[in-house]
């Protein structure tokens, strides 16, 4: 699937070239935002009333981005990326960089819906299995009765013809949604949003993976202590080993190899800087040092 038109890719390149606050981890340009700062940044984007999308990235997404140039263009086009996974936070620390905390999409969905209810933002739910988004909408509105969900759809994105994509985009645009949660699969959702988000009016969009399943109550999240300690992957693996075992093994291998390479590069850079500093000190020694050597 083509991801970005040439003009969007050029704009992405200009935007990413000026980004100074991102933290590069496993090849991803992550924003060093806390959970609350992420909520504030999404609200700021909504108030700009311009189409945008952001990404909640985990280790699997980092691995996919490393091998797919289309995703690298998507990352450059995104308003920002946050670390949806403790391995990314840990890798940043090992490499001497700073990410304040994990920003999980599963936590962002209810938190952003609560803020949308408070601010009067309009929300659109897109994707997941048939019935899941509807159940998620019911539960989210039960939690925040003021929440205004203006659309719920679960199309088979891969099977839509070009005119059906246009019709879907028109329905999203006509809903005047401020915030769109898409559960279309990874990286399909990120690629699809990057291709079409400008057609949705003013909506700020994000691919949220299994977060609508969590919101619908169809999938139970790990206990809070496992989430806090970065062990939520173990809970998910226990519940769905057939689907996740191979994926998690590949993620772990990618994480170890990439972090090791980064650590070696960092160590070599430190040694190189120390060597240059010593050489300059020797060549431009102080007068006192020179007299001491001649006496």
Q: What is the DSSP string of 73-110?
A: HHHHHSS-EEE-SHHHHHHHHHTT--------HHHHHH
Q: Are 152 and 134 in contact, with CB atoms under 8 Å apart?
A: yes
Higher pLDDT, 156 or 41: 41
Per-residue model confidence (pLDDT) at position 194? 96
Q: How confident is the model at residue 241 (pLDDT cuts 50, 70, 90)?
A: low
Per-residue model confidence (pLDDT) at position 90? 87
Higher pLDDT, 279 or 209: 209
Q: Are 250 and 63 in contact, with CB atoms under 8 Å apart?
A: yes
How far is Cα 206 from Cα 216, in angstroms, rounded to an integer? 18
β-bridge partners, 180 = 124, 205
How far are the Cα atoms of 144, 168, 209 from residue 107, in angstroms, in the given order?
15, 27, 12
Q: Which residues of 221-237 are buried (b: 16+ CB within 10 A; e: fewer)?
A: bbeeeebeeeebbeebe
E strands, the chain, where?
A: 23-25, 28-30, 52-57, 81-83, 122-127, 148-153, 179-183, 204-207
The helix (H) or strand (E) run that includes residue 164 is helix 162-174
Q: Are 230 and 90 in contact, with CB atoms under 8 Å apart?
A: yes
How many whole angstroms from its chain centre is CA 105? 8
Residue whose C-alpha is closest to residue 36's, from 101, 86, 113: 101
- Residue 174: left if φ>0, alpha if ψ -120 to 50, beta else—which one? alpha
Per-residue model confidence (pLDDT) at position 256? 72
Q: Are 151 and 124 in contact, with CB atoms under 8 Å apart?
A: yes
Q: What is the mean pLDDT of residues 151-179?
A: 93
Backbone angles phi, psi at 3, to 5 degrees: -100, -55
What length does the chain have? Answer: 295
CATH code assigned to 6-220 = 3.40.50
Q: List pLDDT tens digits, range 77-103.
A: 999 999 998 889 988 888 788 899 999
Q: Which two tokens stand for residue 21?
A: 């606050």
The count of C-alpha atoms lying within 13 angstroms of the C-alpha of 48, restricted to the half-sphere facing its C-beta, is 13
SS3 of residue 188 by DSSP: helix
How far is Cα 186 from Cα 27, in angstroms, rounded to an integer? 17
Per-residue model confidence (pLDDT) at position 169? 94
Higher pLDDT, 4 or 10: 4
Q: What is the mean pLDDT of residues 30-46?
A: 97
Q: How confident is the model at residue 172 (pLDDT cuts 50, 70, 90)?
A: very high
Lowest mean pLDDT across 3-7, 140-144, 193-197: 3-7
């Amino acid at each position: 699937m083509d991801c970005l038109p040439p003009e969007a890719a050029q704009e992405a390149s200009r935007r990413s070239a000026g980004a100074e606050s991102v933290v590069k981890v496993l090849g991803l340009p992550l924003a060093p935002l806390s959970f609350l700062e992420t909520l504030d940044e999404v609200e700021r984007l909504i108030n700009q009333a311009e189409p945008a999308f952001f990404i909640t990235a985990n280790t699997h997404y980092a691995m996919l981005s490393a091998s797919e140039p289309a995703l690298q263009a998507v990352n450059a086009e995104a308003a920002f990326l946050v670390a949806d996974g403790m391995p990314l936070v840990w890798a940043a620390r090992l490499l001497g960089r700073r990410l304040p905390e994990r920003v999980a999409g599963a936590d962002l969905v209810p938190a952003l819906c609560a803020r949308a209810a408070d601010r009067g933002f309009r929300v659109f739910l897109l994707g997941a299995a048939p019935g899941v988004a509807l159940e998620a909408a019911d539960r989210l509105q039960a939690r925040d009765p003021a929440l205004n969900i203006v659309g719920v759809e679960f199309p088979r994105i891969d099977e839509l013809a070009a005119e059906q994509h246009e019709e879907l985009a028109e329905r999203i645009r006509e809903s005047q949604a401020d915030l769109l949660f898409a559960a279309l699969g990874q990286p399909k959702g990120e690629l699809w949003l990057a291709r079409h988000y400008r057609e949705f009016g003013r909506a700020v969009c994000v691919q949220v993976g299994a977060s609508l399943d969590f919101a619908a109550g169809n999938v139970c999240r790990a206990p809070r202590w496992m989430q806090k300690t970065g062990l939520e992957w173990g809970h998910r693996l226990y519940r769905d080993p057939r689907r996740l075992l191979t994926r998690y093994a590949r993620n772990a291998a990618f994480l170890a190899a990439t972090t090791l390479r980064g650590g070696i590069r960092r160590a070599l850079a430190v040694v190189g800087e120390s060597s240059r500093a010593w050489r300059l000190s020797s060549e431009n020694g102080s007068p006192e040092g020179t007299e001491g050597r001649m006496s």
